[in-house]
């Protein structure tokens, strides 16, 4: 029986199965049903997604291939991006700093002295208001941000699922973030993720969307945000020019190895 080696990582409770596929051996062995089963929390390893570290091209240290827990390929994952930077460092692919490619383009990553990992995120040029308390934007994945007085008692699964499957969003899907401002440059976020189709403990592109959306919505000049997610705290920094231009966006937070193992091929 052919076994695939993996390492389980989490970034603020957002967890991933990491596979070293630089030799190009494993992706062709996987299918949607197998990936979904591997991510299942009762019948598999259990994870919000599976990530393949693949050989880099065009000068990249590596390429990040991301699958949601439903087994389907997806757009960029911020917490997964931080975890793959830590994973690549552990494999000796880089010495703490790297440049890598995701499906949304180039990213820079760095393992900091305190063990946290920082990555660059895509610039944001377009924000669309849905109403006076909600907006949409793309931070590597599409996000809906809705501002609430208190996110503690929100039924994230029910309300997030309803927005994700509403007309205009159902075909592509959208991640839904419920945001409460708790202080200057400080917010609490709860996120319903498409592909996982449930609330996750943290969403990297989601907290970036929440921070940028909060800056845009509240008209504040704060460019460094602390975000409290269910699984821990994350930090988002950016430069803002004009009303809708957010550049030099970075996401910083933990990327923790949980355990290693092997799983049978399909």
* Helices and strands, counts by H and E, the chain: 4, 17
Q: Which of 39, 83, 98, 203 is catalytic?
A: 203
* CA atoms within a 13 Å half-sphere pointing along the CA-CB vector of 79: 31
Please give the C-alpha separations between residue 129 and each of 23, 111, 146, 216, in angstroms, as whole numbers.
45, 35, 10, 10
Our answer to whether residue 203 is catalytic in this structure is yes
From the candidates 77, 83, 98, 265, give the one annotated as an active-site residue: 77
Check residue 204 and give left, alpha or beta (phi > 0: left; psi -120 to 50: alpha): alpha
Cα(179)–Cα(162) distance, integer angstroms: 17
Is the Cβ–Cβ distance between 86 and 16 less than 8 Å?
no
CB 32 within 8 A of CB 24: no
| Nearest Cα to Cα of residue 177 among 223, 230, 222 | 230
Three-state SS for 35? helix
> Catalytic annotation on 98?
no
What would the two tokens of residue 69 be? 């827990």
Residues annotated catalytic, as ranges? 77, 203
């Amino acid at each position: 029986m052919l076994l695939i080696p993996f390492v389980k990582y989490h970034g603020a409770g957002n967890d991933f199965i990491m596979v070293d596929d630089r030799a190009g051996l494993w992706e062709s062995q996987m299918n949607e049903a197998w990936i979904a089963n591997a991510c299942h929390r009762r019948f598999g390893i259990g994870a919000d997604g599976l990530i393949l570290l693949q050989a880099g091209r065009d000068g990249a240290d590596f390429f990040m291939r991301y699958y949601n827990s439903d087994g389907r390929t997806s757009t960029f994952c911020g917490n997964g991006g931080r975890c793959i930077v830590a994973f690549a460092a552990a494999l000796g692919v880089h010495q703490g700093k790297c440049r890598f490619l995701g499906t949304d383009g180039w990213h820079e990553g760095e393992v900091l002295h305190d063990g946290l990992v920082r990555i660059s995120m895509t610039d944001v040029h377009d924000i669309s208001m849905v109403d006076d308390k909600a907006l949409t934007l793309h931070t590597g994945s599409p996000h809906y941000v809705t501002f609430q007085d208190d996110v503690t008692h929100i039924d994230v699964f029910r309300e997030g699922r309803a927005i994700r499957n509403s007309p205009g969003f159902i075909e592509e899907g959208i991640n839904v973030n419920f945001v409460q401002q708790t202080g200057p440059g400080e917010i609490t976020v709860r996120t319903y993720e498409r592909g996982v189709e449930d609330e996750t403990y943290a969403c990297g592109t989601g907290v970036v969307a929440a921070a940028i959306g909060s800056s845009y919505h509240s008209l504040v000049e704060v460019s460094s945000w602390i975000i409290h997610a269910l699984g821990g705290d994350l930090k988002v920094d950016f430069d803002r020019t004009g009303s809708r231009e957010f550049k030099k966006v970075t996401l910083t937070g933990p990327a923790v190895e949980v355990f290693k193992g092997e799983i049978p091929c399909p």
